[in-house]
Structure 1
């Protein structure tokens, strides 16, 4: 009986609560179905990390809305965005930098930036603004830098820039403002503005009264590339200005320069007048405007009166830096008046010779640039400038260096000789440069170093650049005279040999670049690197290194480099030779963090390769021919965070499952043979933040349904380019995008499944409770009725004559009476054919089928009833089947024989027997003990009686117990 229901079928007090709970559960299941939870998806090709989203050049027409809310830098440059909408940046409140340059933006909705309270830098360069409306910058109270270069801005509303209370830098160059009044309306809205750039905005005049009569706190002002013909300042509007560019402002006519008071620009320290046309009679008054403060003067591309400009400007006592690029200077005897100049830039002037007296008066000259000229040798005047600290002679035609070229330059700190035609270095060339720290000799024609660096001439040299020359070998002790050297670049030479102790003496070197040479294996595996005990970075890519050993080396090349953190190693192999790295090649690199061996034609990596590098965080094995990677390879490097395995012919990522890379955050696996990405693979890398699987051929069927859903909905890992993945199989889907695969038939909607299952469970529970209480016995009866119907249909289908006269239904405990009493009388004396289960049932056949077949194969069924008969399950099945035959065929086929007296109270639990005895008579053996002959006669007559239920019956006794 169901809990909570009385025997009479009524609901107990408080039982209504049960139904109420059922209804509540039902509605809960419905609500869970109609209110599904949506997840995060990244439907673009941006490169996204926790702090940055790089969406430049992604062909976007709108701002993507599925960027993680944690990003601080958002790069949307070079897309096709037309409009900034009100809610475009609602989900990225922590942005600090936003780059929207080179789009097609014409409009910004009001309040579009209202949520970006933390934004500091905003770039809107190269868009298509015409007018700047009101309130478009609302919310940007912390913005300090705004760039709006190369738009079409003509008008600005009176409140456009008002929210930018902390803006310090504004660049509105290359727009169509044209009038200073419009600029003034901008400046007045920006109380914190300090730097203003407005190159080429169409200004014709600059009149101070068009700005304001009140001081402006600008520190930097760029007016270059306008066509200002008149410059008049009649009020002290720029009291704090210290950087001023008014270069290239006019054409044929000289500018009218009218600064009423010499103190108005007295704070300017840096002045750029490149290309400015000044009349001779106006030059003195022009420079007098800056006479008391100017320290840096740039006069590049001056087409007129250069000599006069130099003479007048050099009379300014505070002037220290003079830049004169692109002036086509023929004579260098122009600086006699520049006694206070300490930095002189003469680059890009096509100078071929420098006179010995050129810098005679520049007694304090510290920095001199003669770069990008036509010098064929080091000018002799150089050795007469003992105060030089930096000398730039790069990009000339110098072919050789003499021992006296740098004589007396004992204070020189940096020497640049790159991009010349120097072929050799004499031993004595640097003999006086004992303070030199930076020497740039890259991109020359040097074939031999001689003894230039193995003597003690350069004890303080820290950086030596020799890349891009024609060196063929590094001999023993080649650099031993450089005890302070930290950075050495030797890449892009033709070095074939590294001799023993090639780098002896370089104890403090931290970075050596040897890539793009012709170094071979035979020279590498000696003690070339043993003395570089402080080396942090070593690059050996793109050499001709060949390995003869595939298991272990007798002398590991890097065994002494315990502080090395980054190693780039590329190996090349001849056809037919083993293509693998020696198992102990990384021995000694206990602090290695980055290992790169891409494009090395490797077939495999030994499982012990990384047992010496427990701290490895980044591994790049791209562009090799692995086909397979052993999970054991990664066992020693549990701290790995970045793995690059593109173009390795891998067919699956199954190795990740056992690799235990729980800290892996970045995985790039482009151009492999991956077709299916399974769930267990992704679960094996729980820290993954970035996954790049571009240019793989995916299978477009249900095998990738999970991966497609995961790529769309997970909120941790960005699957780069997921919405451009292409199908490769099956053939009819080839070329289709994976994202277009319809996966609805691949999985069950979990919400819908929960709804249906919960609802059905509740309804079934309620129905079962009702039936159990009110219709329990009817159900039991129906069950047996169905079984009887089933076997009756089976029997009828056979359509065969009766095989027996009677089926004897009895309990095994009553078998002695049946054998000793019934069988002798009915079969022996009366000749009836009887069916007994122990004798006539077919072996191996199900019992229930034997019972049904036996009952329907007999004319009559004799039930030998006792207490144990009533308690027997199988006897109950037999009488149920027989009673169904009685009801269904309407034939008198049932004979009841009681072997013992059974009180009516004992029959009450047996519903079927009670029902039969109410309608039928029976034979009682206990009452016939004295008249057994009559008993058996009654049985015979019952067996002879026709099955017609309407015919009179001969009965021994009729007893109605109920």
Structure 2
């Protein structure tokens, strides 16, 4: 109860400056006098339970300093700005005190009877008080029958000769003697602690045994007849020899957890002056019933043969933050009960089949932040109890070695693709890799029993759909933040990626550059309760875009203009801050809903503001009035009749327009069929000319598959006899072995037109840009419009203007853009065909550009 109260008060102290609360006050239970320039203990009511007096200048504490405070449980006198003098029975009037904190105060004088009269004192903090050996050997802690925790760290203690009164401290469980100056501890010094069980004993950072010569035959076992749940001897500068001698000396003492961090065992990388631990180093701990050994933060380079063979009861072994580069055969021999192995933050580069032999019960292996690039196939195969494998932040490029285990961490590696291997897991973490193809996502969604899948910060951007939609009845949480799903979805592929995830409850799609949601993409997510679309580029949400049973939605940081409040009917909470609202009458329904909804709206009202018009930019939506936006009342009969007539006429006209627009692709096909029946095909009758090819298609080799499906199969005569053009492209028509520049020049001057398919890959391809320059040179030479530029994908004007040759073209000429809507493709191909067939008239230097831009019909 006292510890909880102390923790609560600590939170109050940390937060009170931010809350603007005075540091000198009394509320009936707590007297808070921090930094109040006090020079003596203030008088407080007898109802006080906590008295905090740190950061003052109190010099003396005597019996008269305190009135009789029967209810006081916590007293803090630490960190006084002046030296502190504590006289005999100074705290006698505090009979129920549980915690006494004097830490951080320099104590010039401490009477040996200073702590008498405190029968219920459980925790005494005397850290960093400048105390000497006398505090231990002169009986300062007599009669403290309830004392459990004693903190004497950061003092000037040089000897651990304990006063016989320590034998009477039957409640004592924890002693912290770290950061003193204790060079040696022998059996006779700790004799009063024999027969006791301590949960924690710290002798860390004392240079213990490291700067003196120890005659262990005289010193003997300092922990004889003790039971230590945790012994901390970290930071004492122990090498292999000191560790071995210490282990042999304490042979037989029961130490369940030994903490030996920040040691100097091992030669590190590139040195040989210090030794790695061998099978004799820890041999003396064979009868200590040790369960946990922490030898992290050192310089161990190699795990030698049977180095831990005597620690047969060990369950947790921490080897993190060493320099381990190799694991010898049977290094873990004898660790038959080990369950947790931590070898993170080392220098391992390869793992072999024999590395973990002997770990029959290991359940958790932590190998993160090494340099592992290769793992043999059977390295983890025979670890039957393995439950969790952590290989984050390594250099892995494949996962053939993976066993079927519940939890797999593989984030921060170099995985480009995933092999189709049998895999079973409950949890898979693959963040910060280089996965691009959504086929890998389809594969992972088919892993049996998978419940949580984390794929943040990959590169998912395209899809060659070889997998059927996943029927996964177990997946509950899917994280796909910071990918590029927009590129895949705008190409019309993988719209069914979430189909079959009937038990998915949480989906994160933050930062995927989404400017639209494919129709029905969430239709099958009937169990989805939470959806995050934060930080995308969505401008509108349509009915049916959101799952019907959705409860929590984060759509902040998008570009929503006038959201429809009916879309949010199922929600219980949402975040819609930092969008680009247009504060006109179209937004009035949303503003009205926002002011009256019972849905929990996250974020500050100031974060929902107008972006347009300029007069309202930055104004909170909660401050916008919707007056004047209501519809007019009922019209009179004459006006109503006229209204009905106009409305019906306009509706019929709009229906026709909408039908034509909606099915414009079919309309265009029927138009072309009718044209072919009524008129002779101009291609069949066209005259031959001087050109070898109708057009030279210039594109990046990385776009070949798309170009083949989108253009060549519909235009090139060698792909189909129904096509009309003899096209030239590098993969088929360039002469092998001939200079690439010569091939490009020949293609440019042998073709009637040059069609450059400018994509992101095109802009990164030096040969493509070179071909574009040659095509421009031809246009200048014969004063023609032979160059046709087609922009593919979501390239903005900014991306095009970054390249000098392309910048000159787009500044003076217009270009085509590949349509986003699939039904516009036939129309686009017809337009491109007309551009290729069009013969250029002789023109003057100031002739105008004939090529008209093609815009996408949304």
- Shorter chain as denominator, the TM-score bin is 0.5 to 0.7
> Which residue of the partner structure matches residue 373 of structure 2?
472
- For 1:342-361, what aligned pairs fall within 5 Å after superposition? 342=228, 343-355=230-242, 356-361=244-249
TM superposition shift of 1:133? 3.9
Alignment match of 1:642 (pick from 530, 546, 557):
530
SS at match of 2:504: coil
Q: What root-mean-square deviation, in Å, do the aligned CA atoms of Structure 1 and Structure 2 show?
A: 4.0
Q: Is the 8 A contact 1:701 1:741 kept in 2?
A: no
Q: Is the 8 A contact 1:702 1:743 kept in 2?
A: no
For the structure 1 residues 209 and 406, does the alpha-carbon distance in structure 2 shift closer, same or farther, using more than 3 Å as the test? Answer: closer
Cα distance in structure 2, aligned partners of 1:212 and 1:566: 59
Cα distance in structure 1, aligned partners of 2:390 and 2:64: 50
> Which residue of the partner structure matches residue 338 of structure 2?
436
Q: Does 1:307 find its partner at 2:184?
A: yes
Q: Does 1:688 find its partner at 2:572?
A: yes
Q: Does 1:738 find its partner at 2:637?
A: no
> Which residue of the partner structure matches residue 190 of structure 1?
71
SS at match of 1:430: coil
TM superposition shift of 1:470? 1.4
> Which residue of the partner structure matches residue 489 of structure 1?
390
Cα distance in structure 1, aligned partners of 2:93 and 2:525: 69
Q: Does 1:384 find its partner at 2:274?
A: no
- Whose Rg is larger? 1
| Structure 1 residues 349-390: Cα deviation after superposition (integer angstroms, max 9, x where no partner) | 333343332232312233222211222122642133113321
TM superposition shift of 1:712? 4.9
Q: Is the 8 A contact 1:454 1:481 kept in 2?
A: no
Q: Is the 8 A contact 1:129 1:153 kept in 2?
A: no
Cα distance in structure 2, aligned partners of 1:714 and 1:182: 63
Aligned residues, how many? 592
Cα distance in structure 2, aligned partners of 1:492 and 1:517: 5
> Which residue of the partner structure matches residue 223 of structure 2?
338
TM superposition shift of 1:651? 0.9
The structure whose RCO (Cα within 8 Å, separation 6+) is larger is 1
For the structure 1 residues 633 and 489, does the alpha-carbon distance in structure 2 shift closer, same or farther, using more than 3 Å as the test? Answer: same
Cα distance in structure 1, aligned partners of 2:616 and 2:204: 62
Q: Does 1:273 find its partner at 2:155?
A: no
- Structure 2, unaligned stretches of length 5 or more? 1-7, 267-275, 634-858
Cα distance in structure 1, aligned partners of 2:391 and 2:90: 59
TM superposition shift of 1:503? 3.1
Alignment match of 1:247 (pick from 108, 119, 127):
127
Cα distance in structure 2, aligned partners of 1:495 and 1:261: 58
633-642 or 268-277, which moves further after superposition?
268-277
Q: Does 1:401 find its partner at 2:303?
A: yes
> Which residue of the partner structure matches residue 606 of structure 2?
723
For the structure 1 residues 565 and 161, does the alpha-carbon distance in structure 2 shift closer, same or farther, using more than 3 Å as the test? Answer: farther
Cα distance in structure 1, aligned partners of 2:75 and 2:9: 20
TM superposition shift of 1:422? 0.9
- For 1:536-685, what aligned pairs fall within 5 Å after superposition? 536-547=426-437, 556-561=443-448, 563-570=449-456, 579-580=462-463, 582=465, 587-603=470-486, 604=489, 606-652=494-540, 654-655=541-542, 657-659=543-545, 661-682=547-568, 684=569
Cα distance in structure 2, aligned partners of 1:324 and 1:235: 24
TM-score (norm 2): 0.61
> Which residue of the partner structure matches residue 4 of structure 1?
none
> Which residue of the partner structure matches residue 828 of structure 1?
none
Cα distance in structure 2, aligned partners of 1:667 and 1:583: 32
> Which residue of the partner structure matches residue 785 of structure 1?
none
SS at match of 1:595: strand
For the structure 1 residues 675 and 344, does the alpha-carbon distance in structure 2 shift closer, same or farther, using more than 3 Å as the test? Answer: same
TM superposition shift of 1:215? 3.0
SS at match of 1:205: strand
Cα distance in structure 2, aligned partners of 1:187 and 1:718: 53
Cα distance in structure 2, aligned partners of 1:182 and 1:744: 72
TM superposition shift of 1:730? 2.0
For the structure 1 residues 261 and 221, does the alpha-carbon distance in structure 2 shift closer, same or farther, using more than 3 Å as the test? Answer: closer
TM superposition shift of 1:465? 0.2
SS at match of 1:249: coil
| Structure 1 residues 182-231: Cα deviation after superposition (integer angstroms, max 9, x where no partner) | 9986992736x4x655532568234464433573152x433221223214
- Structure 1, unaligned stretches of length 5 or more? 1-95, 107-123, 138-145, 754-962
Cα distance in structure 2, aligned partners of 1:462 and 1:187: 56
TM superposition shift of 1:473? 3.5
> Which residue of the partner structure matches residue 263 of structure 2?
373
SS at match of 1:723: helix
> Which residue of the partner structure matches residue 699 of structure 1?
582
Q: Does 1:129 find its partner at 2:29?
A: no
TM superposition shift of 1:740? 7.6
664-673 or 438-447, which moves further after superposition?
664-673
For the structure 1 residues 170 and 213, does the alpha-carbon distance in structure 2 shift closer, same or farther, using more than 3 Å as the test? Answer: closer
Cα distance in structure 1, aligned partners of 2:153 and 2:256: 23
TM superposition shift of 1:498? 1.5
Q: Is the 8 A contact 1:205 1:230 kept in 2?
A: yes
> Which residue of the partner structure matches residue 503 of structure 1?
402
SS at match of 1:497: coil
| Structure 1 residues 816-853: Cα deviation after superposition (integer angstroms, max 9, x where no partner) | xxxxxxxxxxxxxxxxxxxxxxxxxxxxxxxxxxxxxx
SS at match of 1:680: helix
Alignment match of 1:316 (pick from 179, 193, 199):
193
For the structure 1 residues 587 and 540, does the alpha-carbon distance in structure 2 shift closer, same or farther, using more than 3 Å as the test? Answer: same
> Which residue of the partner structure matches residue 445 of structure 1?
347
For the structure 1 residues 582 and 241, does the alpha-carbon distance in structure 2 shift closer, same or farther, using more than 3 Å as the test? Answer: farther
For the structure 1 residues 186 and 687, does the alpha-carbon distance in structure 2 shift closer, same or farther, using more than 3 Å as the test? Answer: farther
For the structure 1 residues 619 and 239, does the alpha-carbon distance in structure 2 shift closer, same or farther, using more than 3 Å as the test? Answer: same
Q: Is the 8 A contact 1:265 1:289 kept in 2?
A: no
| Structure 1 residues 400-450: Cα deviation after superposition (integer angstroms, max 9, x where no partner) | 111131122211111111111111222311121111011000111111121
TM superposition shift of 1:663? 3.9
